[in-house]
Amino acid sequence: MEPIVEVAGGKIRGRTVDGVSAFLGVPYAAAPVGAARFQAPKPVVGWDGVRDAGALGPTCIQAPYPPALERILGTYTVPGSDYLNVNVWTPDPGGAGLPVMVWIHGGAFVHGANAVPIYDGAAFARDGVVLVAINYRLGASGFAVLDGAPPNRGLLDQLFALTWVRENIRAFGGDPDKVTIFGESAGGMSVASLLGSPAARGLFGRAIMQSGSGRVAATLDDARLLGGELGKALGVPATAEAFATVAPSALLAAQEAVHADYSRNPDPARWGRSVLAAGIGVMSFFPTLDGEVLTEAPADAIAAGSARGIPLLAGYTAEEFRLFTVPTGLGAAITMETLPFALARFGIDAAAIAPYAANRPDASGGDLLAAIVTDAVFRGPARQLVESQAAVDTPAFLYEFGWRRPDLGAIHALEVPFVFDTLGAGPNLTGPQPPQRIADEMHSAWVEFATTGDPGWPRYADNELVMTFDDPHSALVSDPRPDERATLPPAITS
């Protein structure tokens, strides 16, 4: 069966398999090529006849992950310029009133796409949800601050995609007034940005932040320094006009070179203090405080009530940072003697070590680094946003993903195929024989939250309860490891 629906731009033909109809690579904006690459998104260019939507669409140009991460995460790209597109899965394109979930992929704002196999939305559609997975501009194309270009183009793309959803989702059986946004890592940071953005009001009613933060935003002046360094690497002025003449492959090569230099030499005078702080030495191109899309740090805006009335589900994996320390060998190189210096890179005082070491008597310096940075960068920010929402009388729920892959632990991104119920599509990420029971639990909770605004456990405000997904069983835990959390700086954990 080949269902046909009409959206902005024209008619599209999808594919139906096992009762789920998929419409893939559907453009929601005009192709960002030439001068348009560094401008705000424009409406999609229409087509004649029926456009085939049976195969994945183009993705934003990007480099592979470093080899140690590439083996786990993989890079999935499709060539082409029409990469501002969405994939849509629906149980009934002729229906009405179905809840809608919009997925924003992660990848440090320089990697990722809606073409990643574990982001297949068929299981959500199977369970009565219209699932939309979006692409947006990455790296310098999406976030470099240049003269003559609007900042935050990647966020503008996300806003444009959400507007497209609001205007077109009825064609797939979805209800535009029942939209939940969710994302992981950079996608989770994007969720926080949208919760704090005046421009996003009215575009969604619920939100899920997986391994994100509301503290990722640089000042324009600092981000402009990074754009200037990119211009130097390219040999052109840091302007939209000049950058538009550069081949995408050349821009990508310069972006990679600048990021490598930034990582090796984190000089605040050269790169900008807020870029280094918000990027934690790992990310270089990401959202900025532009005064329009983001008027203040998302965490501050949310604390002031910007997302009042929008139920929030947020959480983290218990050992996020082990993804960046174990496969790369960094963890093995950190000793107890060098641990304080490694923590200083993240703005964390050595006083934080004591409770973590006491609770982990056999842990190495690398193990402790991963545990402490996990809490500082992921657990603390998730808790902060949940507490902020609770403080403005809005339902807010906190989870921890605790299941450990035997060789790596409960690493960053490990929960994603459990949420999507796509364990078979991600063996390099999950390892062999991940527990399907946890996928059943998490996927059902996400569907329930999108449908009702409640994932099926008490709000965090009720005794600081955290749903911990683990094996052999999952359980509600009241404020896990409070002694560790208490040692981290309030700016990180509050």
Active-site residue, selected from the candidate residues 105, 111, 259, 412? 412
In angstroms, the first-to-last Cα distance of the chain is 52
CB-CB contact of 405 with 319 (8 Å)? no
Burial-class residue 194 by CB neighbours within 10 Å (0-12, 13-18, 19+): buried
The answer to whether residue 259 is catalytic is no
**Closest to 388 (Cα-Cα) out of 469, 320, 303:** 303
Kindly state the DSSP code that residue 376 receives in the 8-state scheme: I
Nearest to 123 by CA among 375, 347, 442: 442
Characterize the bridge pairing of strands 130-134 and 312-317: unpaired
**Rounded CA separation 407/189 (Å):** 27
Q: Active-site residue among 184, 229, 320, 441?
A: 320
**Listed residue (215, 156, 222, 159) closest to 188, CA to CA:** 215
Measured CA to CA, the distance from residue 190 to residue 77 in angstroms comes to 21
| Catalytic status, residue 484 | no
d(CA 56, CA 23): 9
Rounded distance between C-alpha atoms, residue 183 and residue 386, angstroms: 16
Q: Which residues 6+ apart lie within 8 Å of 2 measured at CB? A: 13, 14, 15, 16, 54
Query: How far is the C-alpha of 398 from the C-alpha of 464, rounded, in Å?
Result: 9
Q: What span, in angstroms and rounded, lies between the C-alpha atoms of 253 and 259?
A: 10
Of residues 218, 251, 393, the one with CA closest to residue 259: 251
> Is position 197 annotated as part of the catalytic site?
no
Q: 404: which DSSP letter?
A: P
Selecting among 21, 105, 111, 185, the annotated active-site residue is 185
Catalytic residue ranges: 185, 320, 412
